[in-house]
Amino acid sequence: MEKAEVTKTLLCFMVKSLCCKYEDVVAMVPLPAINSSVIKEWYGNVLQVHVKVGKPGAA
């Protein structure tokens, strides 16, 4: 069994349309701690999947 850590942070990613009122939370990642490298890693993953489904994004 893996060592379990208590998560106190939830990193969420939201996409919003530039031309209409569409917005949606596309990822919620529970983390024990957060820093810039974690945000960069998860942002890259979310953007890659978003582009793969045919929705290119703008930061």
SS3 sequence of the chain: CCCCCCCCEEEEEEEECCCCCCEEEEEEEEECCCCHHHHHHHHHHHHHHHHHCCCCCCC
pTM comes to 0.70
Determine the Cα–Cα distance for residues 6 and 48; give it in Å rounded to an integer: 28
pLDDT of 1 higher than 50:
no
Using 50, 70 and 90 to split pLDDT, how confident is the model at 2? low
Give the model confidence (pLDDT) of 16-58 as tens digits: 888 889 888 989 999 988 999 999 999 999 888 888 887 766 6
